[in-house]
Structure formats: structure tokens, C-alpha cells
Amino acid sequence: MHARGPRHCDISIAIANSGGLLIELIQQHDNSPTLYRNFLDAGREGLQHVSPWEEALDAVIARLKTAG
């Protein structure tokens, strides 16, 4: 593992809620190495990821530990 210093990139982020849905719009304005740049450089566009919001996080963690 390599230690790395702080990285900087030029991005704009807009965050909004619609009911139980959180929407993040992210635009990167430079070519700094980021997961956003990697996503676009791989020829992708659109939705990058989806993440659930768990109300009972302790129960989910216990279930995952039991499953290994």
C-alpha cells in the first residue's frame, strides 16, 4: 500500500431530496484522478451508483456478520 498526500479536484455538487430519495448531481471540471473521472474515462455516462438507506442498520450489520 502506498501512502498518498491530499488530492484536490475541481467539482460542483448539488444535493436534493425527493421523498425518501437522495439525489446527488456531481460535475468534475478538471482531469484530476477521481472515481468520477475513472467512470467517465471508461466510456460510461449517467448513473454511477445506487446506495440503499437502512433504517435498522444494527440489524443489517448483524445479518451480514452472520452470513460471513
pLDDT tens sequence across 2-59? 556 667 889 999 999 888 788 899 899 999 988 888 988 999 888 877 777 788 889 9
Distance, CA of 26 to chain centre:
10
pLDDT at 1 > cutoff 70: no
In the prediction, which pLDDT does 6 show? Answer: 66
Cα separation, 30 vs 38, whole angstroms: 12
27 Cβ contact partners less than 8 Å away, ≥ 6 residues apart: 11, 12, 13
Q: For position 18, what pLDDT does the model report?
A: 86
What's the confidence (pLDDT) of residue 48?
76
Measured between alpha carbons, how far is 17 from 32 in angstroms, rounded to an integer?
A: 28
pLDDT at 21: 84
